[in-house]
Amino acid sequence: MITRPSQPVPVTQSTSVKPTLLKSTAFSYAEILSLLQGQDDEWLFSRAQLATELQFNQQVYLRGIVEFSNHCRNHCHYCGLRTENRQVTRYRLSNEEILNAVDSIAELGLGTVVLQSGDDFNYSGNRISALITEIKRHHNLAITLSLGDRKHQELEKWREAGADRYLLKMETFDRALFARCRPKANFDERIARLNYLKSLGYQTGSGIIVDLPGMTDAILACDIQHLSELQLDMLACGPFIAHHQTPFATSPNGSALKSHRVSAILRLMNPGANIPATSSLDALEKGARELALKRGCNVLMPSFTPAQVSGDYSIYPGKNQQQNPAAERLNQVCQQIQRHGLIPSFSRGDSKRTQYVSRH
C-alpha cells in the first residue's frame, strides 16, 4: 500500500509532508500500476500539485516554440509528419523566418526558445550552429533543440555554439512496441544518444506517448520507471491522438485523465524536472492542458510558428489551430495560468534537478 495522508494536503498548510515532496518518491512498479488504474486519484493529484508548487514557487515556465520544418525522414506509425504521408503540405522556414520568430519571442519577454522540426537533414549541422550563434548574439535566451536523431558531432557542435537543452522522446521504452511504432528506428542508438546529450552538459529531456496502440498499463508503468531512471531535466507525457493519414488511423485515442496520472507520478518521482502540459491534451479534451498544471506540469509552450504554415505541423489532428496574433495567444496562456492562482514565469526556467551552467 502507498502511504498517504488521510485528506488532500492544502498548499498553504504547514506540514512535515513538504520537505518529503522536494525529494524523489520511490514508487514500486506495483504502486505505479495501481495509481495508473485510478486507485487513488485524489491523493495522487493533490500531492503532485503540492510538490510542483513547492518546487517551483507556484511559477509556470513559458517557452516560445518555433516549428521550422515539417519534413521528416522517419516512418513513425503515429505521426502525421511521417515521410510516407503525401497529403501533408510540406514547408521549410528560411533562416530569416526562423530568426524573425525568435525576435518575436524575445520582444514579448520570454526566456526560452524551442527550435523543433522533423528529422530534416536539409538543415545541416553548420546551419543550425549558425542559427544558434545568431540567436545568442542578439538575445539572452535559453535555446532548446528538438531535432531528432542527429550525429554526435553535430550535437557537440551545437552545444559549443550555445544550445542549452535537447529533447529526444523515446515514446516508449518497450522494445517490441517501439519497433512496431517506429519502424527502422534504432532503440539502442536512441538511448545512447540521450546519455551522450547528458554527457555534453545539455539539459536533456525525453518522453512517452500515453496509450499508444498496443500499450498496456503494465508497459506504461515500466515506461515511467525507465524514464525516471534516466534522471532527466525535462519529461513529456502527452496522450496518443489518432491521425487519419497514418497506419494508426483507426486506433482509439488515449485518455487525458491517464496522461494526468502519468504527469503526477512523474512529478513525484522527479520533483525537480520540467514537465510541460502538452498541446495534445487540449486537442483531445478542452481544458485538459490547463488542468495538467494542477497535476504535476509546470511548463507551457505557446507556438510562434508563422501562421501561414503552423497548421501544417500536423503531428496529430488539432495541433496549432489558433491563428490569432502571438501576443494575444501568449496573453490567453497567461490568463489560464493565473486562473489557477499560479504565476506566469518569463525566466529561462532551468531544470531544478541539477545545478546548470550555461555555455553563454
Tens digit of each residue's pLDDT (9 = 90 or more) over 27-52: 999 999 999 999 999 999 999 999 99
Q: Domain spans of the chain?
A: 24-345
Find out whether 348 is annotated in a ligand binding site. Answer: no
Instruction: Supply the pLDDT for residue 5.
Output: 31
pLDDT band at 261 (very low <50, low <70, confident <90, very high): very high
Read off φ and ψ for residue 69, nearest 5 degrees.
Answer: -155, 135
pLDDT band at 8 (very low <50, low <70, confident <90, very high): very low
Q: Is 76 annotated as a binding residue?
A: yes
Cα–Cα distance for residue pair 52/47, rounded to 1 Å: 9
- 182 assigned ligand-binding residue: yes
Q: Is 146 annotated as a binding residue?
A: yes
Indicate whether 200 pLDDT > 70: yes
| 261 marked as part of a ligand binding site | no
**pLDDT band per the 50, 70, 90 thresholds, residue 140:** very high
CATH 3.20.20.70 fits 24-345, yes or no: yes
Lowest pLDDT segment from 4-8, 144-148, 156-160, 255-259: 4-8
* pLDDT in the model for residue 356: 43
Rounded Cα gap, residues 102 and 124, in angstroms: 19
| pLDDT beyond 70 at 132 | yes
- 90 annotated as ligand-binding: no
pLDDT class for 22, splitting at 50, 70, 90?
Answer: confident
pLDDT mean over 65-83: 98
Q: Can you point out the beta strands (E) in 183-296? A: 203-210, 234-239
- Any known ligand binding at 28? no
CB 236 within 8 A of CB 275: yes
Give the model's pLDDT for residue 18.
62
pLDDT at 320 over 80: no
Give yes or no for residue 15 having a pLDDT over 70.
no
